[in-house]
Amino acid sequence: MDAVPTLTTPEALAAAGLIDDTHATALRAVAARYAVAVPPALHHLIRATGRDGPLAKQFVPSALELITAPEERSDPIGDHTHAPLRGIVHRYPDRVLLLPTHACAVYCRFCFRREVVGPEGGTLSAADLDNALAYIAATPAIFEVILTGGDPLVLSPRRLGEIVARLDTIPHVQVIRVHTRVPIAAPERITAETVAALKRTTKAVYVGVHCNHAAELTAEVRAACARLADAGLALISQSVLLRGVNDSLEALETLMRALLAARIKPYYLHQLDLAPGTSHFRVPLDEGQALVKALRGRLSGLAQPTYILDIPGGAGKVPVATPWLGQDADGRTVVSDPSGREHIYPPPASAET
């Protein structure tokens, strides 16, 4: 059977009916600047959810990407300033990012690493991988290794399994985390071999699935996630708050419920990083705070993501939900509930004099 191809040019997107023919020319400049790939699993889904729908917005290039806002920057979260060697980003003492490849199965139009990801980014050379693993082995403070990129699950199961097996030999590494969009972009690639590769260790392995809209969780995607969960891999989610994709209470509530029902524990809801050409996706922080506050009143505690801002420039990630505690005029602690009503929280008796 002839495989349906991954679409990587505006002309191919037009031929598949995902954009108008008349837009293809204008989008050449976008595709020349930022990688494009729409794998087969997403073609039907994008058509089914509409040209202006939540899937099209995330994966189909737009001329709006050519607008770079003044606050946007090529290295939004300061990866470069924390890269001691190729393939490693080490910002927090106890955990490192290991980036074995810059390629992804799909290129998100809002990607925070869009200046470096892409098919030409290539995979880490054998020598660079050796050096990166030697750095991890020589740094006892590293408790957790986070495979990201790019998308580590585009590696062949053999290469992925080798990396996992080599991390397994480093005693101080106790947790391996893999951040990926492959279960959504190409669920057919989550095979028994992929699962076996991730299981070449006795360490705890967490898979962080990047998912921004409930429509991404098709039956095939949920089956791929179930293959991972059934093998004993813990699943967590990462979502990005995106204008026109999930910037409503209903969209977020549906997404978090769908994730939880697929055995994926909602982990982070990211404030969009300041990557170039993404301002049309950005939701102001106060709007994000109001949405996240309202979720608390609607969803189980298990389904609550932490709303996170990666401080531009590389100062790290911080939670940015509205604080629930405040003080009244008399200095008493006031706690607000999800509906906005305020309640006095009494101090311990011994503190009252």
Ligand X SMILES: *Cc1c(COP(=O)(O)O)cnc(C)c1O
Residues noted as catalytic: 91-92, 95, 104, 108, 111, 113, 273, 310, 317
Q: Cβ of residue 99: shortest distance to ligand SF4, in angstroms?
A: 10
Give the residue from 213, 207, 215, 300 showing the smallest Cα distance to 260: 300
Nearer to ligand SF4, 170 or 178 (CB): 178
340 vs 348: CA distance, rounded Å: 24
Q: Is residue 240 near ligand X by the rule CB under 6 A? A: no
267 is a site residue for ligand SF4 (CB under 6 A): no
Binding ligand SF4 (rule: CB under 6 A), the pick from 43, 57, 177, 181 is 181
Q: Which one of 108, 211, 252, 258 is in contact with ligand SF4 (CB under 6 A)? A: 108
> Which residue matches tokens 């994008």?
46
Q: Does 178 bind ligand X (CB under 6 A)?
A: no
Binding of ligand SF4 by 111 (CB under 6 A): yes
Instruction: Tell me the H-state helices in 279-341.
Output: 285-298
Nearer to ligand SF4, 103 or 262 (CB): 103
272 is a site residue for ligand X (CB under 6 A) = no
Query: How far is the CA of 70 from the CAs of 73, 108, 285, 299, 312, in angstroms?
Result: 8, 21, 18, 37, 13
Nearest CA-CA partner of 236 in 178, 293, 308: 178
**How distant, in Å, are the alpha carbons of 96, 98, 123, 208, 343 from that of 91?**
7, 12, 22, 19, 39
Cα distance between residue 276 and residue 134, in whole Å:
34
Q: Which stretch binds ligand SF4 (CB under 6 A): 111-119, 165-173, 288-296, 304-312?
A: 111-119
Binding-site size, ligand X (CB under 6 A): 9
d(C-alpha 272, C-alpha 257), whole Å: 22
Whichever of 153 and 214 has its CB closer to ligand SF4, that residue is 153
Tokens 């097996």 sit at which residue? 165
Interacting residues toward ligand X by CB under 6 A: 77, 82, 89, 91-92, 95, 97, 146, 317
Positions touching ligand SF4 (CB under 6 A) are 104, 107-108, 111, 113, 117, 149-151, 181, 210
